[in-house]
Structure 1
Amino acid sequence: MSVTSFYPVITSQDVAAAASFYRETLGFEVTYESDWYVSMRLGAFELAILSHQHETIPPGHRALPKGVILNLEVDDVDAVHDRLTGEAGLEPVLTLRDEDFGQRHFIVLAPDDVLLDVIQPIPPSAEYADAYTQG
């Protein structure tokens, strides 16, 4: 199997608003846009937004996301935190903190109840260090 791409598609009740959030908040650039589907790219990373009622979704599966967390790994989580909670005005649902398992992070709410977890890797505590694979 030769894979050419692999990316999440988030269903949305308001495709334009969701796409606007990812464009304005994170800097995604649109690669395809219609009223029911928007494909975006941020560097090598892709994300798509699809109307939760679109006919390409099988009946019985046309729901909004529930329990979806998008991880955004950055090199300076404090700066991103200041930007998103300052100028962008987002309210964290999980405040900025260090985790023993090796993350400094915070979580904000994106459209359609998607959680955006902004993460900077940090050294894990001794308790978690052995869980990481080498390389």
Structure 2
Amino acid sequence: MTGPAEGRPDIAGTITFFYYDDLDAAVRWYREVLGFEPYFNQDWLVLLRITPGQSLGLVDAVSGSQRPVPGRNKGATLSIETDQLEQWHDRLRAAGSLGPDDGFQPGCRGRTTEFRVCDPGGYFVEFFRWIAPPPPP
């Protein structure tokens, strides 16, 4: 018997897509507040590199295969693992992107310390650091 990844074709990277009524505001926020740089830019789609092999795709409300989900629960969260949690918190505070309840919280049933912010389209962006990490892959 083989493991689930054994014999699996290679994966070059992943892209998570978020959909926006105001694409320009989302692109500005991810560039100016988080510092993500676009590497592909069309009038309806912007791809931003997060780390090598991991990207975020920002798509306008009408040109992509999906549509923005109305309301506060978008059904998706961008989770960013970092050992520099306090520095990210300071950066977001300085940019005016923290709300009154955006302090550090326990997460993942006590395995992480985290905080969340909302981007201009209402998607949660979560920053976290492991306290008790899962076993290595």
Length-normalised TM-score, structure 1:
0.78
Structure 2 residue 53 is the aligned partner of structure 1 residue 12 = no
| Counterpart position of 1:90 | 97
Compute the RMSD of aligned alpha carbons.
2.1
| Counterpart position of 2:3 | none
The within-5 A match list for 1:1-135 is 1-44=9-52, 45-54=54-63, 56-57=64-65, 61-64=66-69, 66-85=74-93, 87-92=94-99, 93-99=101-107, 100-123=109-132, 132-133=134-135, 135=137
Runs of 4+ in 1 over 2 A off after TM superposition: 1-5, 61-65, 91-95, 97-101, 132-135
In 1, Cα distance between the equivalents of 2:136 and 2:127? 24
In 1, Cα distance between the equivalents of 2:77 and 2:55? 15
In 1, Cα distance between the equivalents of 2:76 and 2:51? 22
Length-normalised TM-score, structure 2:
0.77
**What 5-or-longer segments of structure 2 have no aligned partner?**
1-8
In 2, Cα distance between the equivalents of 1:2 and 1:79? 34
In 2, Cα distance between the equivalents of 1:2 and 1:134? 19
Amino-acid identity (%): 27
In 1, Cα distance between the equivalents of 2:68 and 2:132? 38
Displacement of 1:101: 2.5
Question: SS of the counterpart of 2:96?
Answer: coil
Displacement of 1:82: 1.6
Displacement of 1:41: 0.7
Displacement of 1:134: 5.3
**Aligned residue pair count:** 123
Closer/same/farther in 2, CA of residues 35 and 121 from structure 1, 3 Å limit: same
Give the letter aligned to residue 83 of structure 1: R
